[in-house]
Amino acid sequence: MHRTSIATVSLSGDLREKLDAIAAAGFDGVEIFENDFLAYPAGAAEVGRLVREAGLAVTVFQPFRDFEGLPEPQRGRAFERAERKFDVMQALGTDLMLVCSNVSPAALGGIDRAAEDFRELGERAARRGLRIGYEALAWGRHVSDHRDAWEIVRRADHPAVGLVLDSFHTLAPGLDPETIRRIPGDRIFLVQVADAPKLEMDLLSWSRHFRCMPGQGQLDVAGFLAAVEATGYAGYLSLEIFNDQFRAGSARQVAVDGRRSLIAVADQVARSAGRTDGLLPARARPLGVEFVEFAVDEPGAEQLAELFAALGFACAGRHVSKAVEWWREGGINLVVNAEKEGFAHASWLTHGPGVCAVGLQVEDAGAAMERARALLAQPFSQPVGPGELEVPAIRGVGGSLLYFTDPKSELARVWEIEFRPADRPGAPARKSAGLTRIDHVSQSMEYDEMLSWLLFYTSIFEMERTPELDIADPGGLVRSQVVESADKAVRIPLNGTQSHRTLAARFLSEFFGSGVQHIAFASSDIFASAAALEANGVALLQVPDNYYDDLEARFGLEPELLERLSANAVLFDRDEAGDYFQLYTRPFQERFFFEIVERRGTYAGFGAANAPIRLAAQSLSARHPAVPRR
């Protein structure tokens, strides 16, 4: 694997805070962005010492702007300016300066003129043991293509002058990265890596505000790096991420995300090149949601038990040594943890009642753990009782746990090993609602966290992202993006709130953090499920009549179906693939809630068109809580 590095512009804070975060995430080097240096109250030698004390190297000093192709007297000034910066570099302790292509209207253009300038700059740099790397900015005045930059470097023909490649400048304008393959690797002095979402805007604004970590955007960074690999380049892979959110976010988190993204993309490139040595375990294929665990206190456990029973679940067992119950219906396992110590209790103390853990069944839990560790996930373990299983786990959204089980180890027998049949005396007989499996588990978070968690899920697991959707909540916009496995065995919608007044935002403030806001169970007959819930006295979310009028207008549904939908407060969606039915419970203690869905045909969405209706209804019912119907 290449040495890794990140530019100081990518992170928030002052230079010191940036260096600490970069070092903590395990990078080898740091690109010192000139402005970060200029704004710091210490000289170059002192900054160089800080960098080395942090265990880092200065990868490059950058950017040196508007250098090549100038007429006199600007040309002479540019060389003098360069000599001043060489002084800084020597004090900093770096030998590489990045010169980005000239954007000045004064620049004259001409490959040979630029090559001549670089030959002279190379000569001056070499006298001081320094090197020059030339990068084509996608909006450069005369040079905006790495092929032209390479031609200039080639003609400069000086050992101290090489090329800097930047995936953004190649991929964003749609240049073919395959053209990189013919550049000799030892003439490439630095490779900068950035991804970006596909947006319609000018290249400069796109680059300065919307870059993101490889894997968080939509550019083919892996394809770019595969071409770089073919050159034999052996230097740093350096993240240079101009992103408004990252500049304002947690430097530690951005640094960890950056390292994670580089490790994941390097693994992807090695795999697609057919390499078999030094790979991480493959992304873990999720086979299903094994369980969802709720942290509660004793009264909460009773209330939740009542709700689960009303949803048609049965208490399938009691933990051999802990105040933990296992509730089951169809293929769904819910765990109610009322322990007074350990992780669930800590979660209850911090967040109150709510989901503290999700168990994912994967093909190989050990391999999943190994990959997760390599990708800097935080492993979690706590003491287990004699005979109990140590179920491997990592930290997930909001500090919750993500457990791994698999069908091939002892973990497959976790239920029989850890639970004994329970008798709940006096538990009323409830009607089954025919729930079969967990359809999806939705997590709510601040919008600023979404890119982190998308990378987390898609780098560790064989899960892909769906396009991002904007959903209108009466209190503001919520951005929703789903990560899911190819066979849809696991679907995790992530909802990022941009306002503090949405339902998701209220959840975040009630829960003191991000977490599971709702769980959707699958039914094969939504109306039978609705009838059972009615009989069991479950209070459902009410849906306004206007919605059903519109449904009729949009889909021309038969009157009987429309009547059934409206009578049961069922929301409906239809696309080419099939039909979708959804109904919602009232929230448990004004926190999390449950959804029941039925998919017909191969409908693969989540009823996005219904989400604003549902959110408005939830907002209304939070302000005017109806008397429960039981």
Which spans of this chain sit near ligand DHB (rule: CB under 6 A)?
Answer: 62-63, 98, 100, 135, 137, 166, 192, 207-208, 240
Please give the residue whose beta carbon sits closest to Mg ion in the complex. 166
- When CB distances are held under 5 to 8 angstroms depending on the partner's kind, the choice from ligand DHB, Mg ion, none that residue 488 binds is none
Site for Mg ion in 175-234 (CB under 5 A): 192
Tokens of 548: 């059903």
Cα–Cα distance for residue pair 428/309, rounded to 1 Å: 8
Binding residues: 135, 166, 192, 240, 440, 518, 595
Span near Mg ion by CB under 5 A; candidates 162-170, 350-358, 366-374, 438-446: 162-170
Closest CA to 470 of 497, 492, 446, 488: 497
The reply on whether position 166 binds Mg ion by CB under 5 A is: yes
Strands 354-362, 286-295: pairing is antiparallel
Q: What angle do CA 345, 346, 351 make, to 5 degrees?
A: 100
Nearer to ligand DHB, 199 or 577 (CB): 199
Nearer to ligand DHB, 32 or 494 (CB): 32
Helix 450-460 and helix 365-374: axis angle, to 10°? 130
Cα–Cα distance for residue pair 36/62, rounded to 1 Å: 10
Nearer to Mg ion, 136 or 402 (CB): 136
Cα–Cα distance for residue pair 242/244, rounded to 1 Å: 7
> Least distance to ligand DHB from the beta carbon of 31, Å?
8
Binding residues for a divalent metal cation: 135, 166, 192, 240
DSSP structural state of residue 178:
G
Closest CA to 511 of 585, 456, 444, 586: 444
Q: What angle do CA 164, 249, 47 make, to 5 degrees?
A: 55
- When CB distances are held under 5 to 8 angstroms depending on the partner's kind, the choice from ligand DHB, Mg ion, none that residue 207 binds is ligand DHB
> Least distance to ligand DHB from the beta carbon of 65, Å?
7
Nearer to ligand DHB, 149 or 323 (CB): 149
Give the SS3 label for residue 34. helix
- When CB distances are held under 5 to 8 angstroms depending on the partner's kind, the choice from Mg ion, ligand DHB, none that residue 137 binds is ligand DHB
Span near Mg ion by CB under 5 A; candidates 238-246, 250-258, 440-448, 524-532: 238-246
> Least distance to Mg ion from the beta carbon of 141, Å?
16
The reply on whether position 5 binds Mg ion by CB under 5 A is: no
Instruction: Output the 3-class SS for 71-103.
Output: CCCHHHHHHHHHHHHHHHHHHHCCCEEEEECCC
- When CB distances are held under 5 to 8 angstroms depending on the partner's kind, the choice from Mg ion, ligand DHB, none that residue 63 binds is ligand DHB
- Contact between 449 and 531 under an 8 Å Cβ cutoff? The reply is no
Nearer to Mg ion, 193 or 478 (CB): 193
Nearer to ligand DHB, 103 or 367 (CB): 103
Cα–Cα distance for residue pair 598/444, rounded to 1 Å: 23
- Please pick, from the candidates 240, 339, 406, 473, the single residue that binds Mg ion as defined by CB under 5 A: 240
> Least distance to ligand DHB from the beta carbon of 102, Å?
11
Closest CA to 358 of 386, 413, 400: 400
- Contact between 30 and 22 under an 8 Å Cβ cutoff? The reply is yes
Nearer to Mg ion, 131 or 285 (CB): 131
Nearer to ligand DHB, 98 or 394 (CB): 98
- When CB distances are held under 5 to 8 angstroms depending on the partner's kind, the choice from ligand DHB, Mg ion, none that residue 208 binds is ligand DHB
Helix 450-460 and helix 251-272: axis angle, to 10°? 30
Biggest alpha carbon distance in the chain?
94
- Contact between 393 and 357 under an 8 Å Cβ cutoff? The reply is yes
Nearer to ligand DHB, 103 or 374 (CB): 103
> Least distance to ligand DHB from the beta carbon of 35, Å?
10
Nearer to Mg ion, 238 or 443 (CB): 238
Cα–Cα distance for residue pair 213/451, rounded to 1 Å: 9
Binding residues for Mg(2+): 440, 518, 595
Cα–Cα distance for residue pair 290/490, rounded to 1 Å: 10
Please give the residue whose beta carbon sits closest to ligand DHB in the complex. 63
Tokens of 139: 């909006």
Q: What angle do CA 110, 114, 119 make, to 5 degrees?
A: 145
Strand partners, 477: 472
Cα–Cα distance for residue pair 533/593, rounded to 1 Å: 14
Tokens of 357: 């853990």
Residues at the site binding Mg ion, with contacts judged by CB under 5 A = 166, 192, 240
